[in-house]
Amino acid sequence: MTKTQTIPATITDSEAAASTAQLLTPVVLGLQALAVNGKQAHWNVRGANFIAIHELLDTLVANAQGFADLAAERIVALGLPIDARVSAVAEKTTTAVPAGFAQWQDEIKAVIADMDAVIADVQAAIDGLDETDLTSQDVAIAIKAGLDKDRWFLFAHVAE
């Protein structure tokens, strides 16, 4: 049997790869949680703006899943594993999204609170990757741009 060794794509220093993974892992976990909790909000939103919020939350969920995949694949491309099993996500994240039905304004505020936590982790990754891995930093910047846009779309519904 042949043993295969993964060679990192752009970082040959194992400490730098580990540092990158350490910065991107909370992003992956937060995005996975955002996808699950966004779907929870999607199913239980109520009120006059139901259809608009229901559909917007589907977009947010799809984007969060795509962003999580992007960050996780970057970690794996560097030769390190990622643990984003449900238990790991639940251990490292919290949510403001209620378990049951809620009015659309409350659902939006809860999802935005969850997004803000993820955005903080993404910003920490951007800041930390500046000296470690610019390619991974570009990944984090792209994720932040997408999250900022999705947050803006949600926030526009509750802005006064």
Res 101: pLDDT: 97
Residue 111 lies in a domain: yes
| Containing structural domain, residue 58 | 15-158
pTM confidence score? 0.91
Instruction: Report the distance separating Cα 81 and Cα 149, nearest Å.
Output: 29
Res 4: pLDDT: 56
The domain total for the chain is 1
Residue 10 lies in a domain: no
Nearest alpha-carbon partner for 140 in 64, 60, 71: 71
Residue 50 lies in a domain: yes
Res 115: pLDDT: 98
CA angle 48, 94, 141 (to 5 degrees): 85
3-state secondary structure of 102: strand
**Percent of the chain residues topping a pLDDT of 90:** 87
- Written as one letter, the residue type at 27 is V
pLDDT interval class at 2 (50, 70, 90) = low
Would you say residue 41 has pLDDT above 70?
yes
Would you say residue 8 has pLDDT above 50?
no
- CATH number for the domain harbouring residue 27: 1.20.1260.10
Residue 45 lies in a domain: yes
pLDDT tens per residue, range 100-110: 999 999 999 99
Yes or no: say if 24 and 140 are a contact pair by the CB < 8 Å rule.
Answer: yes
Residue 3 lies in a domain: no
Residue 8 lies in a domain: no
Q: Please compute the mean of the pLDDT values over residues 63-75 and round it to a whole number.
A: 98
**Measured in whole angstroms, how far is the alpha carbon of residue 6 from the centre of its chain?**
26
3-state secondary structure of 103: strand
Would you say residue 97 has pLDDT above 50?
yes
Instruction: Report the distance separating Cα 69 and Cα 56, nearest Å.
Output: 20
Instruction: Report the distance separating Cα 18 and Cα 75, nearest Å.
Output: 9
Average pLDDT, the chain: 93
Residue 106 lies in a domain: yes
Residue 6 lies in a domain: no
Res 14: pLDDT: 87
